Amino acid sequence: SQTIHQWPATLVQPVGSPLSLECTVEGTSNPNLYWYRQAAGRGLQLLFYSVGIGQISSEVPQNLSASRPQDRQFILSSKKLLLSDSGFYLCAWSAGGQGIQYFGAGTRLSVL
Amino acid sequence: DQQVKQNSPSLSVQEGRISILNCDYTNSMFDYFLWYKKYPAEGPTFLISISSIKDKNEDGRFTVFLNKSAKHLSLHIVPSQPGDSAVYFCAASAKGSQGNLIFGKGTKLSVKP
């Protein structure tokens, strides 16, 4: 069966510090991968998606970037965090097309 | 511009009764709709989906209805249980969008014993 791992579960970072969140998927190959953010009191906002290694599409211009160095690994990064980057970050995968997306447990990021 | 709207931020229902969660969309290109359930500090869990070629899909206690002309869908939970208390998100995708989902802001369901 397929599983998705996302870490860390919580993170507190000072403003201006770098960020690296990692997501890995097991039990499938060539998945579509997604990063979402849920800000307080808001819905889920798609940040990045990837249909293959090295292929990244950005949905919202922001202080963040994403990379996919391996087929089942998706990384969310920032060089300098802003207060507005605080939120709940979720990684998801799908088998492609309009398949169901399956989410990781999420990372609660607090930028202070 | 919000393409997927869940106008009720919260809903309270008595255990055993029906819960009806509503969702409206504006983009006529959406042809696949999903409902997710989310507990605090956890990722959303897929519940049920419906394609635009159908108007109803049922899975156990959960039924989703789609009214394409009204651009409206609803999730019915019968009977409601205390364990159903969570935030429910409606999501939609359009063909050719790489499956990118547009989410509503969610409705918090509270099922009281």
Tens digit of each residue's pLDDT (9 = 90 or more) over B17-44 = 999 999 999 999 999 999 999 998 889 9
Query: In Å, what is the CA distance from B54 to each residue of A74, A85, A96, B71, B72?
Result: 34, 39, 21, 13, 13
DSSP secondary structure letter of residue B86: E
Tens digit of each residue's pLDDT (9 = 90 or more) over A21-60 = 999 999 999 999 999 998 877 789 899 999 999 999 988 7
Q: How confident is the model at residue A103 (pLDDT cuts 50, 70, 90)?
A: very high
Give the pLDDT of residue A61: 66
Q: Cβ B46–A102 below 8 Å, yes or no?
A: yes
* Torsions phi, psi for A107 (to 5 deg): -125, 125
Q: B82 preceded by cis ω (within 30°)? A: no
Question: What is the rounded distance in angstroms from the CA atom of residue B76 to the CA atom of residue B111?
Answer: 13
Q: Cβ B89–A44 below 8 Å, yes or no?
A: yes
Nearest residue of chain A to residue B6 (CA atoms): A43
CB contacts, 8 Å: A108 with chain B: 41
Give the pLDDT of residue A111: 95
CB contacts, 8 Å: A105 with chain B: 42-43
Question: What is the rounded distance in angstroms from the CA atom of residue A31 to the CA atom of residue A34?
Answer: 10
Q: Which long-range contacts (CB under 8 A, 24 or more apart) does B59-68 make?
A: B62/B35, B64/B33, B64/B35, B66/B33
| Whether residue B2 has pLDDT greater than 90 | no
Over residues B67-80, mean pLDDT: 97
Q: Cβ A105–B101 below 8 Å, yes or no?
A: no
Q: How confident is the model at residue A1 (pLDDT cuts 50, 70, 90)?
A: confident
Residues A91 and A68: beta-carbon distance below 8 Å: no
Percent of chain A residues past pLDDT 90, beyond the cut: 77
- Checking DSSP bridges between strand B19-25 and strand B72-77, what pairing results, if any? antiparallel
Picking from A25, A3, A9, the residue whose alpha carbon sits closest to that of residue A74 is A25
Question: What is the rounded distance in angstroms from the CA atom of residue B96 to the CA atom of residue B100?
Answer: 9
| Whether residue B98 has pLDDT greater than 80 | no
Residue of A37, A100, A107, A108 to mutate for B, most B C-beta atoms under 10 A? A100
